[in-house]
Structure 1
Amino acid sequence: MDFEIKLHNQRLRGIVGNEHATDAVILAHGFSGNMHGPDGIFDLLSESLQKEDFAVIRFAFRGTEPSDGEQKDTSLHTETEDLKAVIDWAENKRGYSRIAVLGESFAGGVVANAYRDIVDAVVFWYPLFDFKDCSFREFLNDFNLDQIEKNGAITIDGFAVGRQMYEDISTTVLYDRLTDIKAPALFLHGDADTDVPVQQSEKGYDRAGGIKELGILEGADHCFRFEQDAAVELTTEFLITTLKEA
C-alpha cells in the first residue's frame, strides 16, 4: 500500500507491507539512502518481518524521491519532523497497537531525536549520535563552508548538503536524548565500521534508559554489506520478543 503525508505543502511518500497486521515496524533510511536501505537490506528485513505478521512502513525523507522537497533543505530538524509525522500516522490514521522504529546510520540519530513514549521498541543499526565523530568530519572545513555560502550547497556522497545540515553535522551530539528512551532498544554495530565507530553504539547503549541489548557483529563494516542475514535475523528476533511476546 502506498501512502502520503502532507507537511508544509510538501508530500512525504512511503509504502506499507502487510498493512492489516496489528503491530507495525517503521524503517528509517540513512543519509543519502532510500526506502530499500543500503544494498537492499530493508527489502530483506521487510520480508522477514512480514512473515512474522508485522506491518512494515517504509518512507523517503523529504528531499529524497519519491517524497517532495530538495536535498539541500534536508536537516536533522526536517528528518525529525518527518519521522514524527510517520509515527503519528501509524498510530492515529492506521491504528496499529504496537509500533517499533528502526533507524540506520544518520537516521539512528533521527530516531533518538524523534522518540516518543508511544513507541514500543527501537532498533539502531550503526547509529550516528555524534555527527562529527564519523566520516563526515573530512567535509568540515572553511573551503566547503565557503562553497555553501556561494552556491547554497556542497555534495557529500552524491547528496546536496545545505547550510543547516552542515551546521547539524558540525554541532550535533545526541547521547543525552537516549536517556529519554524507556522502550526496549537494540543496538547493532560492526566492529570494523570505518564510517561510524562502534563506540557510538556502545555509548548509546550505556545511556539508553530501558531494557536494552547490544550486538557487535565481528568484522562487519558500515551498512552490514556482508552480514545482512545476521542483522535481519537478530532484528526480527528482538522485535518478536519485545512486541509479540511481551
Structure 2
Amino acid sequence: MIVLVRRCMKSRAVDTDADRRGSASWRGRLVFRRSTLSWQHGAVAEPGGAAVTAGGGEPVRLASVDGLMLDSRLHRPRAGSAGDRFGSVVLVHGIDTDMDEGGMYRRLAERLATVGFGVLRFSFRGHGASDGTQRGMTIAGEMLDLDAAVSRARAEFSGPLTVLASSFGAVSALESLRYLRPDRLVLWNPILDVRRTFIEPELPWGRENFGPERWEAAMRDGALMIDDSFELGRTALTEMSRYHPSGAFAASTMPALVVHGELDTYVSYEIARDAARARASDAPTEFHTVAGSDHGFDSREREDEAITVTVEWLSRHDDDVSLSPAQAG
C-alpha cells in the first residue's frame, strides 16, 4: 500500500540566490508499508590523542583496505543521550565533495550525536585530505574505503548501524550492501542508474559533463573534469558499466529512507521514486520529496529539511531492526 502525504509549509526569509528561486514549497512523502598510531584494519587515531573541534568531531585517520589513509571524523553520542540504543551512522559523500558535504554532513552529524547516535564521516580516496588522487579514484576503490569506515564504526559503537549515502556515494554503498549488511539505509539524491546518469545521460548536468565529446576526450586524454572541480579518470569511467545500484537496492530488505529533490537536474528524481516504490513488501521504505529542490538541496532551508527528516526517521526506527550477525557475535 502506498500512502501519499502532502503538507504545506511556510518559507522563511532567505538570503541566497538558490533560496530565492523557490520561496514557497510543499512537501510530499510516500510511505511504503509493505595513535598514538594504531594500524589495525579500520583506523589510526591522530598522534597526540583525539582533538575535538567545535562541531567538527574527533579527527581519526582510517586505513583503507589497501593501505591508503583516509581523513575522517568521529562524533560521539552526547552524554545523557540514548547512546548504544540508537547505534551508529556512517556518512558517505558524493563524487566531487568530501566528508563535510559543504557543511551539511557536519550539521547532520552534530544533530545525530545530540539525540544519541555515534557518527563516522570520512573522505574517500582522492577527496579532501585523504590519500590518493582524483584521477585514481574508482568505484571499486570507494568500496574498499567504505568497508574500512564501516568496520571502524562497528568497532567504536554498539547497536544497529546505518549507512547514509549521498548522490554518487550511493553507488559504492549499494554495491557493498551484500557484505556490509547495515541495519538501516538512508539515501540522499541517490544515483541508482549509472548508465542514465553518466554513460547515456538524460539530465542537463549529465549531458554537460558526460556527453559523447567529453567521453571521447576522456578516453584520449585519460580524464575529464566534472564542473571544473574534479578530475575523473578514465579507469573510473570505463568501470561504470559494471555497476547496477538499483538492482542492489531492490534486492535489499533493511528499512530505508530516500530523500530527493523534486527538481533535481543532476540525478533523476523519478528513478529514485520508482525504485523506492518497487522495493518488496518486506522492505520498509519511505520516500520524502524536498519540494522545489535541485540536487544537493539547494538552500539552507531545504538542507535543514533533509536533515530533520533523516534524524526523525532514524530516531523512530531505533527499535525496528535486529542486531546484525556481526553485532550479535
Q: Same fold (TM over 0.5)?
A: yes
SS at match of 1:160: strand
Q: Is the 8 A contact 2:263 2:292 kept in 1?
A: yes
Change (3 A) 1:76 1:37: same
8 Å Cα contact 1:74/1:162 also seen in 2: yes
Structure 1 partner of 2:160: 98
What is the CA distance between 1:175 and its match in structure 2?
1.3
Aligned to 1:76: 139
Matches within 5 A, 1:26-65: 26-38=90-102, 40-65=103-128
Q: Is the 8 A contact 1:189 1:216 kept in 2?
A: yes
Give the secondary structure class of the aligned counterpart of 1:228.
helix
2:312 maps to 237
Q: Which has the larger radius of gyration?
A: 2
Deviations 1:178-224 (A, max 9, x none): 12321100011111111112112113213434111011121111111
1:141 CA displacement:
4.7
Partner SS state of residue 25, structure 1: strand
Judged with a 3 Å threshold, the aligned counterparts in structure 2 of structure 1 residues 146 and 218 are, in CA distance, closer, same or farther, namely closer
- Distance, in Å, in 2 between the alignment partners of 1:13 and 1:159 is 18
- Distance 1:156-1:60 versus aligned 2 partners, 3 A rule: same
TM-score, normalized by length of structure 1?
Answer: 0.90
Give SS of 2:141's match.
helix
Partners of 2:207 and 2:317 in 1: how far apart?
36
Q: Number of aligned pairs?
A: 244
Mean CA deviation greater in 16-25 or 133-142: 133-142
Q: Give SS of 2:135's match.
A: helix
Aligned to 1:195: 266
Residues 117 and 70 from structure 1, CA distance in 2 versus in 1: closer, same or farther, beyond 3 angstroms?
closer
2:246 to 163, 175, 178: 175
What is the Cα-based RMSD across aligned positions, in Å? Answer: 2.1
Contact persistence 1:27–1:102 (CA under 8 A) = yes
Most deviating of 58-67 and 201-210: 201-210
Aligned equivalent of 2:30: none
Aligned to 1:5: 62
Q: Quick check: 1:136–1:169 contact (8 Å CA) kept in 2?
A: no
Structure 2 unpaired stretches of 5+: 1-57, 198-204, 322-329
SS in 2 for 1:132: helix
Q: Which has the higher helix share?
A: 1
Distance 1:121 1:15, change over 3 A: same
**Contact 2:273 2:287 survives alignment (8 Å):** yes
Letter of the 2:230 counterpart: F
Mapped partners of 1:2, 1:17: distance in 2: 9
Alpha-carbon contact 2:73-2:122 (below 8 Å) kept? yes
How many Å separate the matches in 2 of 1:113 and 1:4? Answer: 24
Q: Are residues 217 and 95 of structure 1, via their aligned partners in 2, closer, same or farther at CA, if it must alter by over 3 Å?
A: closer
The answer to whether the 8 Å contact 2:147/2:180 transfers is no
TM-fit CA distance, 1:65? 2.2
